[in-house]
Every structure is written in structure tokens, then in C-alpha cells.
Structure 1
Amino acid sequence: MKKQLWAGVVVLAALVLVALLIGVAFRPASAAPSTAKKAATTTKAASTTYRQVGVMTLPDMSAIQQKWSLDIGWVDQQSHLYYLADRTNKGIDVFDLSKHQFVTTIGGFVGPNGILTDNQGQLWVGDKDSTVKVVNLQTRKIVATIPTGGTERADEISYDPQDQLIMVANGDDKQPFISFISVTQRAIVKKLPLPDAQGLEGSAWDATSHLFYLSVPKTSKNPGGEIDAIDPLKGNVVKVAPLSKCNPTGFALGPNHQAIVGCDGNALVLDLTNWKVLATFSQVSGADEVWYNSGDQRYYLAADGNPSSPVLGVIDAVGLKWLQNVPTKSGSHSVAVDASGNVALVPTTGAGVVMYAAS
């Protein structure tokens, strides 16, 4: 009886062992360890690339496409409208980003340059005749024209919403200068001469430091250019950050009190707390307008002066890593990004406003 019982136990153990072996051999794919899922997800994220996803055009694009002259683009994230300084049509082109289509052109300009919207329902435009024009966004009509007193164009613009001040640069005048304009009064309240500057480019207002930052391509003291920190209330330069081999153009605030700087040389990220260069990117040179997109925490650089060929550079603003250069065309020096869909908008002569997104 004991022998029979022992034999039964042996047979039962053998059957259990076989069942276990069969279960392992035929485990379904869905039962794979979670580490495999993680690896697959990581691989997919790393392979994300940017491509053209569409083009927005003007009604008369076929007639003007080869001579289309344009400057700064601006996305109003609340209204989902894109505004573009169109020098050929002497107006501001308006596009609806929810439908990806042209809406209208706001006329009455000589040769628009820098543009932005405030939180008062207005569009501010630096114009070729050395004026700043104010547009009511409801009526889409010019409601004020503010002369800066210069002889050349009023160019790049930035906005201080806390003090309701606009800062506009006259960088092409024989003696470059900055004007501070009251948004409520629609009048110049201060001026800042910058006689040693050889050009004035992109700027931005920073809520953390309560300062404007301005790209100065070159001075006699800093031939590689500099970033000036400007007090909007006192109207003076409080700090200068010299740059080496940059000659800065575009400037945009990013996360962690940092900023992306578009350079004639390699693009760089600047720490605005200690003024140190945190990273340089040899992959992207010759950038003009730059943009930080909070939707995907990435920097976008319209580098039409890139040595090998014009590109839209994309950089991870958190990890400070270059991600991709998307081929563009000559003259594609302007970029703005719709944060709701993470779509980059690059106006392109001969095509229209080309849209790029990750896939």
C-alpha cells in the first residue's frame, strides 16, 4: 500500500512539473514583464520625429508667393489666432488655428515688423515708418499710431503686463534706442539711448526678475554681442551679459528662469539667475526668431542662416538636448508655436505658412 501511494505521489509531481513547463513556454505576449513594456515605450518616444503637417495660404498666394516678404509671427494662445507681419501686403495676416485657414489681412501699415498681443484686446506692431501702431482686435482696425521719433523702422517689441508697458527697439537708427510706451495712455513715457549698440534684436519681459531682456548683436566692448537686462520703470540697463561668438538675434524665455538665444553662431541657453551659459548647440546656427512652447517644453529656432541649409531647430528645454533639425527654405526666419496642438508655424516664401509637428 505504501509503495502504491508513493508511486502516485511521484506521478502527480511529474504532471505538475510538465504543466508548469507548458505554461512558461506558451505564456501570451500580454503577460510579458512590465520592464519590456517600459523599454518599448522608451523606444517609441525616442523615435519621435517632426514633419510637415499642412500649409496655410493667402487668397492671392499664387500671385505673390515668390516675392512674399514677411517678418515676425505671433500666436495668441487664448483666441487660437496667428498674426503675421506681411510686408508685401503692408498688413497683418490673421489665421484661425482651429481651422488652419486664412481669416483676413489688417491693413494700414507701411512695412510691419515686430508684433504681439497684450491682455487688453490689442495688437501692437512696430512699423517701417518708425511708428508703433495699435490694433483693436475686435474691430481689427488701427486705433492709435505712436511715433518713436526715429528715422528708421520700429522693430522688435515686448510687453510687460504687470506695469502695462511696451518696449520697442529702433535698432537701425544711427544711434539705436529703446522706447517705453504706456499701454493705457498709448504714449511714450521713457526712452533709452543705446549709442554703442550695432543693432537691436529680440526681447522679452520676465515676471521673475521684473526686467526686460534685450539681444544686442554687437558693441565695441562686446564684439560677440550681449544680453542687456533693462528695468522697465527706471528705463535703464541694470546688467549686461557678454556673449562669445554669438551675435544674438532671437530671444525667448524658457522654464527654470532660463532663455534660448538665437545666434549667428551656435544657439545657446542662458541661465538668467547667474548669467551662465548652460548649453550651446552646434547643430543649430544662424537663427533669427526663436520660441519656447510650454505645450511640449521645447524650443523652436527659425535658423534660415544655418550654414549647411535652412532649418527649424528643435531643442528639449528641460533636458537641454538638441532633438532635430527640420529642413525649411531660404528666408524662413520666423517661427511661432500653437501650444494647444504643439504645431510650429513657419511662414515660407513660395509656399505659405508651413506647419510642422511631431509624429
Structure 2
Amino acid sequence: MVQRNLLGCATAILALSLATSVSAAELKQIGTLEVPGEPLNGFDISYVDQATNRYYLADRSNKAVDVFDGASGKMVDRLPGGFAGQLKSNDESGPNGVVVVGGEVWAGDGDSTLKIIDLKTKKVIDTISTGGKARVDEMAYDPKAHVVIAANNADEPPFLTLISTKPGHKVVAKIAFEDATDGIEQAVYDVATKRFYVSIPELKKDKAKGAVAVINPDSGKVEKLLPVNDCHPNGLVQGPGANLLLGCNAGVKGSGLPPVFVVMKTDGSVVKVIPGLGAADMVTYNPKLKQYYTASRGMPDGPELGVIDAKSNTLVQRIKLPGGNPHSVAVSEKNNHVFLPLNAKDGGCNGCVAVFAPGS
């Protein structure tokens, strides 16, 4: 079972609801996942493989990808891959982005390589260089074209690499973004349009001007840039239908922008600007409950976990967090558990993954 109230983490978190009473859909912390080994002070992307209900955490402190059972909360594997670990610079640290492709884990490392780990043997079966100098970060998978898209967000200029998941793992395309002056962030694949969508936080050093890049996996080219103003998009996830939620970094100290989230359609039309919360890194979506979850780590009064109703595109809950650099968030569609890693430095635990679920 999920470890409950482990190391006092649960008591350190205060839920602030925007509703007058607690509904069944509102989140409550139900416990934490203990991360053994070195204290969890360095981590990056977290990911749930919905087919197996396994939760994967890019654990830089222990130079591995940690695997938890999404139902019991028990750690079932730690996958070492010769990763760089947490170095002084995040740009050279790893593991970073994580995605599951069949029986393999694909994880980005700090030396511009992507490592493929076989889940049966627990061994690295291939290491792919993307040709840069800094880390391979966030990724997404196209099961139709059998291609993974991976971002080198810290290189100058930042670039995307499209890699075949077929034997040999051929690099099929490389796309540089000369005008992207603050990296490349979260990517998502849309089955309906058969396209990748990728957050571009900033264009030509203008913090108020960002974009979502539309990538054709077959041609390996950018088809268009969908402009996004006053958002500085980091996170990106697909919601119901053609809707995309942009996890705006707007609202973080020094951004000069008010905190918002933006809901946009895949054609670039803006559905709604949601005020009040922002300063986000990753975002995720639960189609079962039709809710988005936001890792709003940079709010001026402290980090928060946000809940947005995807039917009305309304902010419905804000959960105040003690600290812990909560920039990574993932959700299980099987049991509606939301996973939010917190570091050991100021997260209210010795480095743990806080677990939330709908209350009653």
C-alpha cells in the first residue's frame, strides 16, 4: 500500500479549495512513496505507463530510473543506466525525460545521449547520441510512426531529435530552433492529427512571446508555430478532443507576466485563458475524471498543485505545498492517483513522492 504520513510529509501540506465544500473530485493527500538510497534532492520527469500502471521517476540522486507499482505504491525496480546523476548544472545532469515504449524505458541523460533499458533484463540495450553537448530532456512517443521525439533544451540553439523505435534506432530527423531563446519543453503526440506538439517558451528573447511547434513525424519537419502570448509555455498536455493545456511559467518571480494557464486547440485557436495560478513546469491530464493537474512550483507565495476542470476549463482547487521543487507531475488513469515528487531539502520529507487521490 501507499506509505501513509511517511516522515511527516502529509501533515506539512495544506489543501486550499476554491469550492465551498469538498466534493468527490477534489484531491487529498493519501500518503507518500518512499525513495530509498540517497536523499532525493535531484529528480526530473515522472511518468505513468497506463498499460501497466507503473510509475517511473527520473531519480538523479540515485542515478537511476525508479519504478513503482501504481496501485500498491511499492518500489518494484531501480534501473541504473550509467546516468550522470545530479551535477552542479541541471543542463548536464541525468536522467531527465522518461517514456515507456513497449517493454523498454527510454531515458535522456546529461551528455546528449538517450539510453534504452530493457525492462526484462534491466540492462541498457542501446545508447543513442543526439549530437549535442547538454542533456536530452522531455520526450513523447508516436505509436503510429514508431518514433520518439526528444528535446535537447539546454543546447544553443535547442533542438529536437526524432528517433525510430524499430531495431537499430535510427535518427530520422533533427530540428533546430534558432529563435527559441529559452529552450524547448514538454511534448505531446495527438492521435487525431498525427502530429507532435511541443512547447517553445520564448521566441527572440521576448518573454511574452512563445509558441507551440507542430511537428510532422513522417516528414520530420516543423509544419507551423502556433503563437502563444503572455504565457511562456513550459508544460503541455492534451485534454478532451482537440484541446491542449499549456502549463505557463507566467507568474513566476521576474517573469513580468500575471499567473495564467492557457487552453488552446490543436489549430492554434485559444479556448480560454485561466487566471489565478501559473508558474508551472509540467502538466498532466486524467481523462477519467476530466481534470488537469499542474506542477506550479514557481508561485511567489510558494509552490502549489493545481486542479483544473477540463469540461469548463476552470481552476477548481489549489493545494499549497511546503517546498520541494515540485515541477514534475503524473497521474494514473487506473486509480486516479496523482504523483508529485518532492525533494529532501525542503519538501517536508526525506525526498519522497506525495500521492494524492480524490476525496469523499
Aligned pairs for 1:226-305 (under 5 A) are 226-265=211-250, 266-273=260-267, 275-305=268-298
**For the structure 1 residues 44 and 264, does the alpha-carbon distance in structure 2 shift closer, same or farther, using more than 3 Å as the test?**
closer
| Matching residue within 7, 28, 39 for 1:64 | 39
Given the alignment, which residue of 217, 240, 243 partners 2:201? 217
Q: Which amino acid aligns with 2:147?
A: L
Displacement of 1:219 in angstroms is 1.1
Residue in 2 that maps onto 1:30? none
**2:263 partner letter:** V
* AA aligned opposite 1:267: F
Cα distance change of structure 1 residues 123 and 334 upon mapping to structure 2, 3 Å threshold: same
- What does the per-residue CA deviation read over 1:116-147, in whole Å, with 9 as the maximum and x for residues that have no partner? 112x2111111111001111122222111000
Separation in structure 2 between the aligned mates of residue 313 and residue 221 of structure 1, nearest angstrom: 28
Deviation at 1:149, TM superposition (A): 0.5
Counterpart CA distance in 2 for 1:339 and 1:311 is 22
CA distance in structure 1 between the aligned counterparts of 2:141 and 2:23, rounded to whole angstroms: 36
CA contact (8 A) 1:202 1:251 kept: yes
**Cα distance in 1, alignment partners of residues 278 and 342 from structure 2:** 19
Letter in 2 for 1:230: I
CA shift, 1:44, in A, is: 7.5
Aligned equivalents of 2:24 and 2:136: distance in 1?
43
> Deviation string for 1:153-194 (max 9, x for gaps)?
111111110000011111111121111101003121111121
Paired residues of 1:113 and 1:126 also in contact (CA < 8 A): yes
Which amino acid is the alignment partner of residue 145 of structure 1?
T
Match of 2:334 in 1: 340
Contact 2:172–2:220 under 8 Å retained in 1: no
Q: Provide the secondary structure at the position in 1 that maps to 2:241.
A: coil
Q: Evaluate the alpha carbon distance shift between residue 76 and residue 47 of structure 1 in structure 2; reply closer, same or farther with a 3 A threshold.
A: closer
The one of the two structures with greater contact order (alpha-carbon pairs below 8 A, sep at least 6) is 2
Taking only the aligned residue pairs, the percentage that are identical comes to 36
- 1:36-115 → structure 2 map (5 Å cutoff): 46=23, 48-60=25-37, 64-65=39-40, 68-108=41-81, 109-110=83-84, 111-115=94-98
Q: Secondary structure at the match of 2:39?
A: helix
Name the TM-score, length of structure 1 as normaliser: 0.83
Asked if the contact 1:222–1:242 (Cα under 8 Å) also holds between the matched residues in 2, the reply is no
Superimposed CA distance per residue, residues 304-341 of structure 1 (whole angstroms, 9 cap, x where no aligned partner) = 01232201100111121111011122401100001111
Q: Which of 308, 313, 319 pairs up with 1:315? A: 308
1:357 maps to what in 2?
Answer: 357
Compute the displacement of 1:231 (Å).
0.9
The letter for the 2-side match of 1:102 is M
Provide structure 1 residue ranges, at least 5 long, that are not aligned to the other structure: 1-42
1:222, 1:243 within 8 Å by CA — same for their partners in 2? no
Aligned length: 312
Aligned AA (2:29): Q
| 2:190 equivalent to 1:206 | yes
**CA distance in 2: counterparts of 1:285 and 1:95, whole angstroms:** 29
Unaligned runs of 5+ in 2: 1-19, 85-93, 251-259
**What residue is the counterpart of 2:125 in the other structure?**
143
Per the alignment, residue 187 of structure 1 pairs with 170
Structure-2-length-normalised TM-score: 0.83
Task: Tell me which structure has the larger Cα radius of gyration.
Answer: 1
